Amino acid sequence: MVKTEKGKAQKGGGGTRNANLPVKLFLVNAVLQKMSVFLPHDNNFFDLFESLAGKAVEAAELLDQVVTDYSKLPEISEQLKLLEDEADSVVHEIIQKLFYDHTRVTEEKGDIRYFIHNLDNVIDGIEKAVVRLTFTQRQTLPEFVSEFSPIILQAAQEINTAVGCLRTLSKCEEDLEACCIRTNELENEADIINRKCLKKLMTAPVENPAEVLDRMLLKEIVDILEGTMDECEDVANILETFRLKGGI
C-alpha cells in the first residue's frame, strides 16, 4: 500500500511539473528577448541592405539611360524586369533571415521589414514607369521623364550612401543624416515637377480625341514617378529612425 501511495504521489508531482512547463518557457523567452539587445547581430544583413540599395541605383541609372537614348526603351525595360526579380530575391532572403534571427526583438524586425519594402518599391516604381512608357508607342521621350529622372537618380545615390553608413553608424552618423535631408529636399523638387506636369496634362486643350487616352497613360506615369520619389522619402525616414535608435 505504501508503495502504491508513493507511486500516486510521484505521479501527481510529475503532473505539477508538466503544468508549470509553459510558465517556465514563457519566462525563458522573456529573458532571451531582453538579452537580445546585448547579442551580436548578423552582419550579413548589412551586405543584403547594401545589395538592395545598389540595385535601386542601377534601376535609376537605367531610367537615366532611357532619357539619354530613348531608342533603347524596350531593351532597358527588359533589363529592369530582371533587376526587379533580383531585388525581390534579396528581399526574400532578408525576410527568411529575419524569421530565424533571434537577436532582434519584434519591433526591430518590423522596422527592417518596412525599410526593405519601401526600398524595393523604389525599384518596382522605376520598372513600372518604364513599362508604361513602352505602352505609349511614342517616338519621342515625354519631357517630364527627363525632369524626374535625375532627381530619382540623385535620391537613389543618397540612399545608397546612407545605407552604407548603417554598418558603422557611430562613425558616420552625420553623413547618414545629410543623405536623408538631401533625399527629402529632392522629394520636394519632385512634387513641384509633379504639379507642373499634371496641370499641363489636365488643362491643355485636346485637339484629337485619341489624345485623351495618351494623356491618361502619361498621367499614370507621372503618378508612378512621383510615387517612386515618395518611396525614396519613406526610405530616408526609416533610415532616420535607425539613426535615432542608434543602429539596427
The whole-number pLDDT of residue 2 equals 46
pLDDT in tens, 134-174: 998 888 999 999 999 999 999 999 999 999 999 988 888 99
Instruction: Give ∠ CA 64-69-73 in degrees, rounded to 5.
Output: 80
Tell me yes or no: is domain 47-245 CATH 3.40.50.300: no
> 143-165 vs 106-136: helix axis angle to the nearest 10?
160
Interval 179-217: pLDDT, tens: 999 999 999 999 999 999 999 988 888 788 778 888 899
Domain boundaries along the sequence of the chain: 1-31, 47-245
* Tens digit of each residue's pLDDT (9 = 90 or more) over 28-80: 455 444 444 433 345 578 999 999 999 999 999 999 999 999 999 999 999 99
216, three cell numbers: 491618361
What is the CB-side half-sphere exposure of residue 69 using CA atoms within 13 A?
9
Q: Which amino acid is at 180?
A: C
Phi-psi region of 6 (alpha: psi -120 to 50; beta: other; left: phi over 0): alpha
pLDDT in tens, 88-128: 999 999 999 888 877 667 778 888 999 999 999 999 999 99
The pTM of this model reads 0.80
Write down the pLDDT at residue 35.
41
Distance CA 81, CA 87 (A): 10
